[in-house]
Amino acid sequence: MHRPIQVIRSASLSGYVELAQSLGLNPQAMMAQVGLNLRCLDDPETPISVLAVRQLLESSAQAAGVEDFGLQLARGRRLSNLGPISIVLREAPTARQALDTLGRYLRLLNASLLTHIEDHADVVIIREEVLIEAGGSVRQSIELAIGVMFRILRELLGPGWRPRQVCFTHRAPLRGDSHSQLFGSAVEFNSAFNGIVCAARDLTAPLPDRESGLSPYARRFLEQALSDAPGTTLGSARQLIAALLPGGRCTADQVAQLLGMNRRTLHRHLEADGASFSSLLHTIRTEFAGRQIRDSDRSLAELAELLGFSGPSPFAYWFRRQYGCTVSQWRAGRPATGSSDPGNG
């Protein structure tokens, strides 16, 4: 079954032209290389390819010789860049309720971005993950997503707000000045997840009353857009697999239960979308494997845990069967003949 191209609002590239020019790049030429036209930025609601945006951010970072291109792009973001969703978020009673609202409508903004919110005693973890069915680094996309989430929370909670921690699964840049300047000192690289750790009390504190009277109209518009969007079982299953995979907690029964159905019903829904639980698990695991091996410095044991294997040996066996080489061989740039880049397989 042919799957539709994942799309994102062109507003995701807000500020791109100015940033590219400031770094000595030709934005029109850079965009043309990935099949994007500069005119798509005229209307922030224009749907553009998620893969093209991912490639543009990575190629721009490489061409400019900077490691924090995505983070620099996030610095100028405001709630208003989210379009109609920003109206609903501004009128939420608490930041936590604003996040729940954002999670509901997120796929209208970006089909590849997964946001999962977890409560742990006195902290809340906002996990961010980018799932793109193609190989290549997503470092810039992840840093843009987390930077934008930080900017949203800062705008809701006030300029004095600080997160407990900001986490990235990729390795640290050679210079981390821009990360500490934006987020503060609590930044962790080679982390177990991508996301932001917040004090629960910060997110549940009442927000200032920002009644505009437009929220009911914006919500009706968003609900209509949501109802017109494609079915959600496949997307919801992908999101849960990505969230549950680390530590080997991901099973078809567990995903089905969290979706409010039994395993057989889950398989039937996925089959209607031309997928299966095992194929989704394999695709996401393969994408995560490529990303972790390429962009982080994790040991074999840490990789195995993050990818849901019971230990290093099963992971090493799976990897060799999949790519025809060991992890160390691939990292050293000496894969066996016929093997492919993890994440492209």
128-168 confidence digits (pLDDT tens): 988 776 667 889 999 999 999 999 999 999 999 999 999 99
Position 232: which residue type?
Answer: T
Give pLDDT, residue 56: 97
Token code pair at residue 15? 């500020």
What's the length of the chain?
345
Q: Please determine, for residue 88, whether its predicted confidence score (pLDDT) is greater than 90.
A: no
> 263-272 and 277-295 helices cross at what angle (nearest 10)?
80
Highest mean pLDDT among 6-10, 43-47, 68-72, 251-255: 68-72
Give pLDDT, residue 229: 63
Q: Measured between alpha carbons, how far is residue 74 from residues 29, 147, 194, 324 in Å? A: 22, 5, 16, 39
Give pLDDT, residue 228: 66
Give pLDDT, residue 83: 83
252-311 confidence digits (pLDDT tens): 988 888 777 889 999 998 998 888 999 999 888 888 888 888 888 888 888 888 888 888
Give pLDDT, residue 133: 64
Give pLDDT, residue 26: 97
What percent of the chain is predicted at pLDDT more than 70? 90
Q: d(Cα 153, Cα 159) in Å, to the nearest integer?
A: 9
Q: d(Cα 132, Cα 286) in Å, to the nearest integer?
A: 11
Highest mean pLDDT among 14-18, 180-184, 227-231, 303-307: 14-18
Give pLDDT, residue 345: 45
Q: In the predicted model, what is the mean pLDDT of residues 338-344? A: 51
The mean-pLDDT minimum among 46-50, 112-116, 267-271 falls in: 112-116
Q: What is the DSSP letter of 206?
A: B
Give pLDDT, residue 309: 87
Homologous superfamily of 233-331 in CATH?
Homeodomain-like (1.10.10.60)
pTM for this entry: 0.80
Give pLDDT, residue 336: 46
Give pLDDT, residue 153: 94
Give pLDDT, residue 284: 87
Q: Measured between alpha carbons, how far is residue 91 from residues 95, 104, 117, 210, 258 in Å? A: 10, 15, 20, 6, 29
Q: What is the average pLDDT value for the chain, to the nearest integer?
A: 86
Give pLDDT, residue 339: 45
Give pLDDT, residue 22: 97
Q: In the predicted model, what is the mean pLDDT of residues 318-332? A: 86
Domain borders along the chain are 68-204, 233-331
Closest-CA residue to 167 (of 118, 136, 127): 127
Q: Which residues is 94 bridged to in the sheet?
A: 206
Q: d(Cα 299, Cα 301) in Å, to the nearest integer?
A: 5
Give pLDDT, residue 149: 95
Give pLDDT, residue 2: 42
204-255 confidence digits (pLDDT tens): 999 877 666 667 777 787 887 777 665 568 877 887 888 778 766 788 988 8
Q: Please determine, for residue 337, whether its predicted confidence score (pLDDT) is greater than 60.
A: no
Token code pair at residue 280? 């989704």
* pLDDT tier, 1 (very low <50, low <70, confident <90, very high otherwise): very low
